[in-house]
Amino acid sequence: MTARTALPPEIAEKVAAGERLTFEDGLALQNSRDIHAIGRLAHMVRTRLHGNKAFYNRNRHINYTNVCALSCRFCSFYRKRGEEGAYEMPVEQVIEVAQKAHQAGATEVHIVGGLHPWLKFDYYLDILRGISQSCPGLHIKAFTAVEIVHLSRIARMSIEEVLVALREAGLGSLPGGGAEIFDDRVHDVAFKGKVREDKWFEVHRTAHSLGIFSNATMLYGHVETPEQRIRHLIKLRELQDESLQAMKDSNSPDTPRAAFNCLVPLSFAPEGSELGELPGPTGLSDLKTLAISRLMLDNVPHIKAFWIMQGVGLSQVALSWGCDDMDGTVVWYDITKRVGHGTHQEMTVPQLKRLIREAGFVPVERDTVYREIHRENEVVSA
């Protein structure tokens, strides 16, 4: 192994001692080709945090519209109104899908969509009210930071007012989407027109200050550099430091605070996007990015290998490369489609458990905010 590919021993020492890694350490990890050493370190951290547990949930993703005012070059999901394949679900349809999921045992619906130019703020409130009233206990994780900024524009309300109104209507937490890569150059090449990092952070900072938990994402493997990935992770780590400190300082139940629950590194799928000529990440770069995310984000409890994005097989392997969560049953997902599967992309609970067990971990069902769910009389399946 050459000097360029070897991992500097100080990094292993720091990780073993639980010390925070620097930007330079992150770059050294990126430059190393020793995927096994990187994986072993990430596994050490993941095991320290979660032992041999690997989490999944019973959820249903709902993409209420693919009509979007933006035309991000990395995105193959959006359509313009009137274009073939464009859709917007009526409020009743979204509620009905959530009800069916609830009846089938889901504990979470994950609702996101394009920035629809004509839907009114009431559409979003009605969805939340309708679901929360008819599906008691079902957690609604909805609307990326980009949608929240869009709602603040159409409702002419501040981000805080929008979040408060959505929470009153039934919003439980925010998903992590829309972060992409926090860098102005990458922003201008791949998602010009989308809100920049300042707004993404404003939404999540405000959510945390209101006691609303959220997730974070990083879309990797397109036009970004390894340096930009590490900076992205460090920026998330900085907000998490702030939010965790505020949680510690706030000891009053009247002012609950929140933070990020997990990072979801999203593997760029070039097919069908304007960046379709790019090769996209390989299995090794997926594993490396997931492991480095675990190592750099020392203050975010969970790293998710989203089986839709990393693929079922690689997500299983990723459980030994720093990840502790696979997302859930999903059922339907329109943002990216696996070849041969279209939008129906479902994993059953026995399938998820089997994958996790086979990877050497104990499957643990969780709710959206990672409280464990233990069901009585559940048949233990293979």
Q: Which residues bind ligand V47 (CB under 6 A)?
A: 74-77, 144, 175-178, 180, 215, 217, 219, 264, 266, 268-269, 273, 306, 309, 327, 335-336
Residue number with CB closer to ligand V47 (215 or 320): 215
Residue number with CB closer to ligand V47 (32 or 53): 53
Q: How far is the CB of 62 from ligand V47 (least distance, A)?
A: 12
Q: φ and ψ at 119, to 5 degrees?
A: -65, 140
Q: How far is the CB of 270 from ligand V47 (least distance, A)?
A: 7
Q: How far is the CB of 115 from ligand V47 (least distance, A)?
A: 12
Residue number with CB closer to ligand V47 (26 or 177): 177
Residue number with CB closer to ligand V47 (206 or 215): 215
Q: Which residue is nearest to ligand V47 (CB)?
A: 177
Q: How far is the CB of 74 from ligand V47 (least distance, A)?
A: 5
Q: How far is the CB of 290 from ligand V47 (least distance, A)?
A: 14
3-state SS, the chain, equals CCCCCCCCHHHHHHHHHCCCCCHHHHHHHHHCCCHHHHHHHHHHHHHHHHCCEEEEECEEEEECECECCCCCCCCCCCECCCCCCCCECCHHHHHHHHHHHHHCCCCEEEEECCCCCCCCHHHHHHHHHHHHHHCCCCEEEECCHHHHHHHHHHCCCCHHHHHHHHHHHCCCEECCCCCCCCCHHHHHHHCCCCCCHHHHHHHHHHHHHCCCCEEEEEEECCCCCHHHHHHHHHHHHHHHHHHHHHHHHCCCCCCCCCCEEEEEEEECCCCCCCCCCCCCCCHHHHHHHHHHHHHHCCCCCEEECCHHHHCHHHHHHHCCCCCCEEEECEEECCCCCECCCECEEECCHHHHHHHHHHCCCEEEEECCCCCECCCCCCCCCC
Residue number with CB closer to ligand V47 (7 or 328): 328
Q: Which two tokens stand for residue 332?
A: 């339907």
Residues 273, 274, 279, 281: is their CA dihedral positive or negative? negative
Q: How far is the CB of 118 from ligand V47 (least distance, A)?
A: 22
Residue number with CB closer to ligand V47 (64 or 74): 74
Residue number with CB closer to ligand V47 (296 or 309): 309
Residue number with CB closer to ligand V47 (34 or 274): 274
Q: How far is the CB of 368 from ligand V47 (least distance, A)?
A: 8
Residue number with CB closer to ligand V47 (56 or 268): 268
The residues pairing with 54 across neighbouring beta strands, listed in sequence order, are 363
Q: How far is the CB of 28 from ligand V47 (least distance, A)?
A: 27
Q: What distances in angstroms separate CA 26 from CA 2, 3, 20, 41, 227, one per listed residue?
A: 18, 16, 10, 13, 8
Q: How far is the CB of 252 from ligand V47 (least distance, A)?
A: 28
